A and B are shown apart, each in its own frame.
Chain A
Amino acid sequence: MKHLEDEDIARMIDGTISKRERERFLEHLSGCDSCLSVYSESLKFIEEEKKNRVMLKLPRVGVVIDGWRRQARTFFAGNRLMPVYAVLLIVVVLLPFLLKENAQVHYIEECVTEMEVRGIHQFSGSNDPVYASVRAGIFVEEISVLIDYGGKEDLRGKLAARLFKELKVLFNDEAVSLLPDPGHLEEESFDVVVRSMGTMLDKRRLSGLFQFGRFVERGILVSVDGKRPLAEEVERYRRLVAGEYHDKLPPGVLKELNKFGAVTGINESKEILTGIKDIFLAAE
């Protein structure tokens, strides 16, 4: 019996073979163990080789990149305007980031400006600790965002002054020891203030309201960034408002919270929470 040529076996492996020839070769392979061993061993090796091909091709990618680099070097070599090109490129890349202001900070700025324009100096329920606790939560959340952002000291100062008023309602003279210098709030000192406030409010059983205020403002700020407040958080505060604070808070709050459904959109969430915020920040 005449054995298959090496090239015939190679053609079988490469698939460069006619149908008729394939049938002939298959018939031979089925009866010739010698050719079958050569074929199967070679095929296994070639298949394994295929698997490794990606790795083998990597240096070629390197060659292509080197080629581009060489071309770029030739283009820029001896060009006096190259530093200008470089600066322009950096500016173009960074421009969108430089111009983009934090949306949350922008929102807070708008809120403060609006209150100033409307001349609101005294909020509804100005001497009610319940209202004051919620408002304190709102201001604390806003100040935290500004501190994280950095800068905007004047805005921070205005909000701290409003927070100080609420602390006065809540803790009378102790407010001074809590927030001695509202004009200069730093991240670390503010953390201490918030922690102390939490402890003191806890003693007065008002910390839940303070947290509720923070939740309302946080919900608005995340929706400004195009996100939805967490459903579990909404449900938790809805239960709290409906239960423990049902008599203390104005009825509008629960009504608004009940508007939250399973598939409430981002804009709807923002509207609901802004509605709640307005209840506490309305002019007296």
Chain B
Amino acid sequence: MKATIQPEFNASAGLDIVQAEKIFNRCLGYIRKEIKRKIALYDPLDFKTTSRKFIRRLQDEDYKVIREISADCEGVETVLEGLIKDFLIETAYYALADKYIQRIIMNKLGSSDAGDIRVLEIGDMIREKLEKDGLKKLKSFQEKAKFKTFLVTAVTHLLIDSWRQRGRIEENATRYGPEFDALFEPPVDDPLKKLIKLEDEDFMNKAAAFLPQVLEQLDYKEKLAIKLKYEQDMKLSAIARTLGCTRFKAGILMKQIEWKISREIAGKLKQGGRHEAPGR
């Protein structure tokens, strides 16, 4: 249950130091409780250090933060909650940013050199976008997932978006160079073709031509499972995690879908005059 703090808080104008100190002392328990409740979402921050830092920030310059609480706020509790959230986001971001942004880019580039100029350039671009308007993008975090996961998703999103926008924004293209374009270049061969494995190349091409039609007939879950396995090259455990089932069930589902596709293609080939069933 949330602590209710409704002191004789008169927010009609700025507070003086004595009032601010009073509010601060009264809210200390609430601050600690709130940070303790939220800290698990902000791995790798720890409760002791973070709460100490936040309290010190409130005390700085004669409780400047508390004294500057805007006049139209509903109550100290709401303001503090926002302050705590922003503080946690900021601290967690600076604790994770360097390592995470760099590693996500290195993974993408397939580079093990952290000093690679491309890694540094793209890293700067990502950081610039994230830190725009006082971490505005990150501060939209609603605390429904772990901040670390949110940060990874946001960074990955920015990387992918930058590539997509490249065609439209010429400035970016010259700035980040041609290596950046190659980052998300789709593979030349259609990975879904891996579904069909036949010895006869002509026959295989015919079967592959039916594939898009067959995939269209699948329901959204089946289609997603096939995409995850063949397009995104995901492991069975990751597919199971996505579908929200066990690894065993995901394995059975994959087999069933693959059989379904084989059967459909075999039927279509049969209609086309060939009688052999496509193998998997």
Contact = CB atoms under 8 A, between A and B. Distances in A.
A48 B148 CA distance: 13
Contacts of B141: 7
Interface in A6-34: 6-7, 9-16, 19, 22, 26-27, 29-31, 34
Contacts of A49: 148, 152
A31 B220 contact: yes
B156 interface: yes
B228 A37 contact: no
Contacts of A16: 144-145
A30 B141 CA distance: 25
Contact-size category for B:
35 or more
Given A7-B142, A27-B220, A43-B238, A34 B164 contact: yes
Interface string B123-163: 00000000000000000111011101110111011001000
Dominant SS at the B interface?
A: helix
Interface stretch (B51-59, B113-121, B241-249): B241-249
Contact of B227 (A19, A36, A43): A36
Interface string A190-226: 0000000000000000000000000000000000000
Contact of B228 (A13, A19, A40, A46): A40
B152 A26 contact: no
B254 interface: no
B145 A42 contact: no
Nearest to B138: A6
B182 interface: no
Contacts of A14: 145-146, 149
A47 interface: yes
Interface string A32-59: 0010111111111111110000000000
Contact of B156 (A12, A30, A42, A47): A42
Interface in B181-231: 184, 220-221, 223-224, 227-228, 231
B107 interface: yes
Contacts of B107: 44-45, 48
24 contacts: A6-B154, A7-B141, A7-B142, A9-B153, A15-B241, A16-B144, A26-B220, A26-B224, A26-B243, A27-B220, A30-B223, A34-B164, A36-B232, A37-B160, A40-B238, A42-B149, A42-B152, A42-B153, A42-B156, A43-B238, A43-B241, A45-B103, A47-B237, A49-B148
Given A14-B145, A30-B220, A40-B234, 5 more contacts: A10-B149, A29-B224, A30-B223, A46-B149, A47-B235
* Nearest 5 interchain pairs by C-beta: A10-B145, A30-B224, A40-B232, A30-B220, A10-B149
